[in-house]
Amino acid sequence: GDSVTQMEGPVTLSEEAFLTINCTYTATGYPSLFWYVQYPGEGLQLLLKATKADDKGSNKGFEATYRKETTSFHLEKGSVQVSDSAVYFCALSDRGYQKVTFGTGTKLQVIP
C-alpha cells in the first residue's frame, strides 16, 4: 500500500537557518504530493503541493520538488523564522482517491 516516510524530529534551528525536512514515499501509481503544516492547537492546513514529476510546489518561502526517480519530496526553506515553528506533514494521494496518506510529522522549533 501507499506510505510516506519523513524524518523524525524534533528539528531545532536558529532563526535564519536553512531548513530541510526529508520525505520519501511509496505508491503504486502517480501520486500527488503535499506538505501540510500544523500550528500549535490548530488543525492541519495545506502548505504546498505538486501533482506530477519535476513540479515544484512553493508557498511562504517553502519549496519542495517532486522527484520521481528518488521518490522524494523534501521540504526546504532558505531562512526560517520563529513563526515557522510547527509540525510539518508530508502526504500523498494516489489512484484518483480523495483519500490522503500522511507521514508521522516532523516538529520544527525555531529559536531566536
Partner 1 sequence: DAGITQSPRYKITETGRQVTLMCHQTWSHSYMFWYRQDLGHGLRLIYYSAAADITDKGEVPDGYVVSRSKTENFPLTLESATRSQTSVYFCASSEDNSYEQYFGPGTRLTVT
Name the residue nearer to partner 1 (CB basis): 29 or 41: 41
Place of cell 495545506: 46
Q: Please tell me whether residue 105 binds partner 1 under the rule CB under 8 A.
A: yes
85 contact partners, CB below 8 Å, separation of at least 6: 40, 108, 109, 110
Q: Residue 20 corresponds to which cell in the numbers above? A: 530541510
Q: Please tell me whether residue 57 binds partner 1 under the rule CB under 8 A.
A: no
Buried b (16+ CB within 10 A) or exposed e, 7-19: beeebebeeeeeb
Tell me the three state secondary structure of residue 84.
helix
Return the range that interacts with partner 1 (CB under 8 A); candidates 11-19, 21-29, 41-49, 70-78.
Answer: 41-49
Burial of residue 56 (number of CB atoms within 10 Å: 0-12, 13-18, 19+): exposed
Residues in contact with partner 1, counted by CB under 8 A, come to a total of: 18
Q: Please tell me whether residue 93 binds partner 1 under the rule CB under 8 A.
A: yes
Name the residue nearer to partner 1 (CB basis): 79 or 104: 104
Return the range that interacts with partner 1 (CB under 8 A); candidates 13-21, 40-48, 53-61, 77-85.
Answer: 40-48
Q: Would you tell me which residues interact with partner 1 (CB under 8 A)?
A: 32, 34, 41-46, 49, 89, 93, 98-100, 102-105
